[in-house]
Amino acid sequence: MSAGRVAVVGAGPAGLVLAALLHRAGIDVEVWERGSREYVERRARAGLLEHRVVELLAAHGLAERLLKEGARHGWCEFLCLGERTRVDYGELSGGYRHWVYPQQLLVRDLLALLDRAGCPVHFDAPVRELEGTALRFERGLVRAEFVVGCDGARGVVADGLPDSLALERRYPYDWLTVLADMTHPVEGVLYAVHETGFAGMMPRAGNLARLYLQVPADHTPADWPEDRLRDHLALRLGAGEDGPRPLRLRETGMLRMRGRVRRRLRAGGVFLAGDAGHLLTPSGAKGLNLAVADAVDLADGLIRRVRHGDDTALAGYEARRLAAAWWAQDFSDRLLDLLHLPSGDPEERRFALELRRERIRALARPGPYATAFARDYAGAASVALS
């Protein structure tokens, strides 16, 4: 069988954005997804879209509902040693802000757009093996001129790419993640640096919020029954009577905290984009944004190659996206260092808390240090999107 010019594996944001741009340019493209459509459309993950990512989506006509229903956010808060510090990164960056729009809504929008355009998306179709630029399925082989793996960090395409071993950092803690109905909407991101561990509160649509709790590495949700989880969230986040508090805990999971970058993002006609090429922690909310930027970059290169015979942009894809991935990893790592305390005795941890409080105060004071953080955080004009 033939899938035409481009076969995209994975129906997440990277794969769907890539397919939409290629199809609109008149290039034959099909998407193959191992999960069901219901699973893909319900999968709740990221929720903060950077300024320039939304600009990219809007410029290509992929953000109509997002622009109507998404909420703008331009500040975050840090809580450390009982002191709450607001960082107005929208003001400090010169007007760059995030959009709050859950990933599953973006995925639904993109799937609806592809449906209307008649671009094939095949669900419940796991790829068994990569053979050159052909995909082996249970019932046969699909051949294409180009294959793009957007199927995640453990995807078949990435594992089948020659010399694609990854460089990885495993952090000495994990994050328990909770999707919760709150007493009222969360107005902005809250990062809590606490002697017992980090906690975070991130706004989602309506009264929903994503909550994070630092736990020892390799713990499981079973180690954190609801009463214990609620006690630690209240202790670390310090929510007063007027602050949003969790009512119903909808979903609880565990994030194994690691950063990973593949050594290669291309071999001949096979490419990687999104989590297949680089996996980031949620710190700084860079993963989804980097994935969309990969897709836009790769679409531009493939369109130039197929429509105009110009290989220049495609030839530079790997170098550009690896530079972007390492930039994002660096930002995520620096923020993690700010949010987590080193191990040590109580006196050492108190010293570390005082240092972090001073760094947080500096993020809120106008000046080069605060401006650089604000622009990087909001996605103003970083290498991650160049």
Q: What is the mean pLDDT of residues 38-65?
A: 90
Which run of H or of E encompasses 376? helix 368-378
Enumerate residues 6+ apart whose C-beta is below 8 A from 319.
none
Which pLDDT score, from 0 to 100, does residue 162 have? 81
| Whether pLDDT at 31 is above 60 | yes
Which run of H or of E encompasses 143? strand 140-143
Distance CA 336, CA 49 (A): 19
| Whether pLDDT at 139 is above 90 | no
Which pLDDT score, from 0 to 100, does residue 239 have? 67
Closest among 127, 126, 128, 148 to 27, alpha carbons compared: 148
Which pLDDT score, from 0 to 100, does residue 309 have? 93
Mean pLDDT for the chain overall: 92
Are residues 314 and 166 in contact, defined by beta-carbon separation less than 8 angstroms? Answer: no
- The pLDDT-based confidence of 138 (bands split at 50, 70, 90) is confident
295 compared with 47, residue with greater pLDDT: 295
DSSP 283: T
- The pLDDT-based confidence of 2 (bands split at 50, 70, 90) is very low
Which pLDDT score, from 0 to 100, does residue 385 have? 46
| Whether pLDDT at 178 is above 50 | yes
| Whether pLDDT at 354 is above 70 | yes
DSSP 183: S
Are residues 191 and 283 in contact, defined by beta-carbon separation less than 8 angstroms? Answer: no
pTM (2 d.p.):
0.92
| Whether pLDDT at 4 is above 80 | no
Q: How many CB atoms lie within 10 A of CB 154?
A: 10
What domains can be seen in the chain, in order of their start residue?
A: 6-47+102-169+259-333 (3.50.50.60), 172-256 (3.30.9.10)
At position 85, the amino acid (one-letter code) is: T
- The pLDDT-based confidence of 386 (bands split at 50, 70, 90) is very low
Q: What is the mean pLDDT of residues 93-106?
A: 92
| Whether pLDDT at 383 is above 50 | no
Model confidence over 271-321: pLDDT tens digits? 999 999 999 999 988 999 999 999 999 999 999 999 999 999 999 999 999
Model confidence over 151-160: pLDDT tens digits? 988 889 999 8
